[in-house]
Amino acid sequence: MSWLPLWLACGLVTFLIRYSFIALEGHYRPPAWFIRMLPFVPIAALTAITAPELLLVAGKLQVADNPRFWAGLVAIAVAAVWKNTLATIASGFIALWLLQRLT
């Protein structure tokens, strides 16, 4: 079986989905509630990606003996106080490194 037809179909579907936003520009106005919710999309997506990595160990919820969770809390605190991306990332990495060395 050749994978080429599947790749072409997936590429076409992806193109059409993305092109639909360009083609509808100026012809369609989303509802006001939808537009009000758009600023929350990035934080929701980021939370959906990071929360399982911070809270789950081997597929099970683990907080007490989980250095990733505590390092994440350090990074969140640094982000809340200083609002500096580089400081947030560095503090999270340093906290994780130290916590992994201590346990």
The pLDDT value recorded for residue 45 is: 97
Tell me the chain's radius of gyration from C-alpha atoms. Answer: 21
Task: State the average pLDDT over residues 22-51.
Answer: 94
> pLDDT digit string (tens) for 42-97?
999 999 999 999 999 999 999 999 999 999 999 999 999 999 999 999 999 999 99
Distance CA 48, CA 50 (A): 6
Residue 22 structure tokens: 């360009």
| pLDDT value of residue 26 | 87
3-state SS of the chain: helix, strand, coil percent to 5? 75, 5, 20
